[in-house]
Amino acid sequence: MSDSPSPANADTEVEVQLLDPTFGRPLKSWTFQNRAQITIGRAPDQDVEISDPYVSRNHARLDCRHGQWVLVSLGRNGVVVANQLIAEYPVSGDVSFRLGMEGPTMRFRATAEKAEVRATISFDTLPSPVFQLDQRRLQDAVDEIADGDYFQNLQQRAKQLRGQR
């Protein structure tokens, strides 16, 4: 039995996602149909091209071997799954992995979701206030400053300086 990639089923669709490091939401997705191998790296000839200094030109590969996906580490900085550096990792379902200890986080989905209409970003056109000022207290504070000696002296000094021009 060989460990070389074998063709996936014709109707097999998989997805590789680049994840937001803070929220874990997909920033970019690549979908592949009927592929036996998917390459990940910094080089432009990679199936999933990631421009990041922690990513090697040819960093990782996903191989479909006898119907089972395997994540293979190829890069100098390695691939991390569940906080462990791996050489090869059998994938069942979804798996999140990092390209090197400091590199970007990716997710491989063995069954890609069919996206009919997906909104990635939506903004409310009317801003909602995060806080509301007490207008009475604000006006009291402004009056206190304007009536204070320091502010009065500052205004007088400004008037003198303008007169010396």
Nearest to 98 by CA among 85, 75, 80, 73: 80
CB-based contact 91:108 (threshold 8 Å): yes
CB-based contact 73:87 (threshold 8 Å): yes
What are the structure tokens assigned to 59, written together?
Answer: 């960093």
Give the DSSP letter string of 131-151.
Answer: S---HHHHHHHHHHHHHSHHH
Query: CA-CA distances (angstroms) from residue 104 to 17, 26, 96, 113?
Result: 10, 12, 11, 22
**Which residue carries 């550096």 as its tokens?**
85
- Does the pTM surpass 0.75? The reply is no
Residue-level pLDDT, tens digit, the chain, 165 residues? 445 555 554 457 999 999 998 888 999 999 999 999 999 999 999 999 999 999 999 999 999 999 899 999 998 999 999 999 999 999 988 999 999 999 999 999 987 555 444 555 655 556 666 667 788 998 999 999 889 998 899 989 999 999 887
- CA 104 to CA 50: how far, in whole Å? 9
Running DSSP on this structure, what letter comes out for residue 163? Answer: H
- CA 116 to CA 130: how far, in whole Å? 34
Residue 96 burial (CB count, 10 A): 14
What are the structure tokens assigned to 36, written together?
Answer: 């036996």
